[in-house]
Structure 1
Amino acid sequence: MLPNAKLGDGGATFLEAIFTATSAVCVTGLIVVDTATYWSPFGQVVILLLIQVGGLGIMTFASVIGLTIARKMSLRSRITAASEIKSVGLEDVKGLVRGVVLMSLAIELTVAVILSLRFLTGYGEPVGRAVWLGVFHSVSSFNNAGFALFSDNLISFATDPFICLPIAFAVILGGIGFPVIVQLRKHIRSPLRWNMNTRVVLAGTITLLVAGTVFITAVEWSNPATLGPLAWPDKLLVGFFQSVQARTAGFNSIDNGAMDSASLLATDVLMLIGGGPAGTAGGIKVTTFAVLFFILLAEVRGETTVNVFGKRLSRAVHRQAISVVLLAVAVIVISTAALMLLTDISMDRLLYEAISAFGTVGLSTGITAGLPVAGQVILMLLMFVGRLGPVTFASALALRQRRTLYELPKERPIIG
């Protein structure tokens, strides 16, 4: 709210400041004012710092929670988990934090250099401006924040692979999670040594990226407001970029408000699923979605156990996944209904905005700034709950497990 954080006279209003701060620290990317023209360089630095702190904090918090849950396992399970992960010791929280920070800075620096050189040589930006653009968008992309320093986000660079692909690469790395990156770094050539989490995250990420790219590209292929005017290689690039961003990053290289309703619905699904655990992505997490898929597959096959990549899935994980999904659906439905009561905007756009906020994505059809104050408060609460809710709720369920000394008689209601 400081006057020097805003361009022009005066400072930002309380709502503008707190909405932007919430969106930045929750690494979402929804905005009520234009980041490029409303905030001064000082204000943009504040946003960048909030994004960095929010991204590092979530990755560290989720990783430490993972260690805490691991300590609750039996000794045999702990030894097995430690031998599979081969990353940090169960007591080495300091080493874990250091690993998260160093890995994040290394990836951000690499992407920042690539983007800075492109802005410098491809667009004639002065050295200082090119470096600032490279650093800002690198940090924003790796932390899946979606804040951009251009009024049209990245629409002006939709057909430039030297801008879009490094950003997409950073988004994917930030979204798959710290544990997966560590294991890939150690055993990239030994897939048999990957644990279940790494296999599920990689398989789910690749499947969703390919499916999202194919669907969005096919639906928008002839849309004159999105992919229609582009050459076919550019259509594929934009389709892939949009599919990546729907995994909770929030950049956009086309106008989301002009997309077909089918594309918006597909994006809703991708945003809700999100990325991997212990990463900068939001959503219910690809592992949660995968668990539900394998439960369904086992039921269809009539199997009594759920097996994933040669390992049996704990029944406690079944309950945790179902609980997280039902909680997410309830929060989104209630919030969307509240937004419908406050505005006359169509349900598909309000649902899109609500899922984007809960999944900490940041994609928007352009209605956020026009919502009433109560509607913007709802989005802020969704961002906060979506950022901390799933990991906190799931870890609480895992840590509160207790064995009862008796069982009640079984009975089955009619299902379906």
Structure 2
Amino acid sequence: MDKAKLREGIQKYSMIIVLVLVTLFFTWGTQGKILFPQNITNLISQNAYVYVLATGMLLCILTGGNIDLSVGSVVCFVGAVGGVFMEKMGMPMPIAVILMLLLGAVIGAWQAVWIAYVHVPPFITTLSGMFVFRGLSNVVLGGQTLPIKNQAFVVLFGGGANCYVPDILGGGEGMNRLAMVVGIVACVIFVVVTMKGYLNRKKKGYETGNVAAMYIKMILICAVILFVTYKLAKYKGIPTSLVWVLIVVLIYGYITSKTTVGRYFYAVGGNEKATKLSGINTERVYFLAYTNMGLLSALAGMLTIARLTSAQPTYGQNYEMDAIGSCFIGGASAYGGTGTVPGVIIGATLMGIINQGMSIMGTDQNMQKVVKGLVLLAAVIFDVVSKKRSE
């Protein structure tokens, strides 16, 4: 095999390789405990907010390496307001959910106006938002914990003991049939979509890439899907939080890869001046990125208070760092214009496995922070060095 192609392949799938190696390390280090069905389920449930926030953060980073530092505080504030709506005002759950999403979008739009049209740097705008909405969270809750007793809300957004999709196929104890069927169907859909895309490119005379590599990729991804769904089936089935994550990933994966609006984010990050001269409204692109970030922060807020069955003024701390770290580790460029939703999911999963693996091994909390910081630094260094070599 050509060395250049081998090097390109290793660089392209570097984070997947790292994810596999890290998983193998913690499998050895925990005597296989990290792969127990309950731990796989916990990995998904505990990191659902990271997947959601990182997907939104990707759009901000694509516009030129910009970030949103306010997401953790917005998560806390929206969760606090939603808790007050349901528990103190007695508002019906569906109305409260809609209002929480609208509140998140309004907060995002508020910050987006300053960033997109007044040209206040995103770092300053969202740093301000981080302080403002953290303070407002304390005001709304009066510095106290507010229990979330609305069971319909808790179950719908992945909290409590019954936060799993019902097994409508009637699986017995220890084997959820619905989870296995979903895994098989997902594999079939993935293979069909991949093959259809390959045949379309071939028919139009486009570059199709290495066919063997495509088959290997399909086999590996299907194996991972079946492994995860099998582990979920062996516990309690599909967590409802996973359903929300899949909805977000599928929608934004389609937007970023298949729509004109999605390509605008990459164009702005690649060369904003050239993009503007070509007739694209770059201010609107910034506005959409940060408004969307507010909307997804609201969803993450609902997932958080449902999982913890309470709203607290301290929730959401360091959430922004988890989201930003997942994006950069997953291959998003610190300069903007590069990154994918699947890459972000890989980055978030890697961070989750590192956190869970070290927790099971009993690693000190301070050392866990050290390891996460070094992993993030390594990912950004890899991006910078790769970019310099390509130039």
Normalised by the shorter chain, which TM-score bucket? under 0.3
Instruction: Please give the TM-score of this superposition, normalised by the length of structure 2.
Output: 0.25
Q: When you count helix as a share of all residues, which structure comes out higher? A: 2
Q: Which has the higher contact order (CA 8 A, sep 6+)?
A: 2
Instruction: Please give the TM-score of this superposition, normalised by the length of structure 1.
Output: 0.24
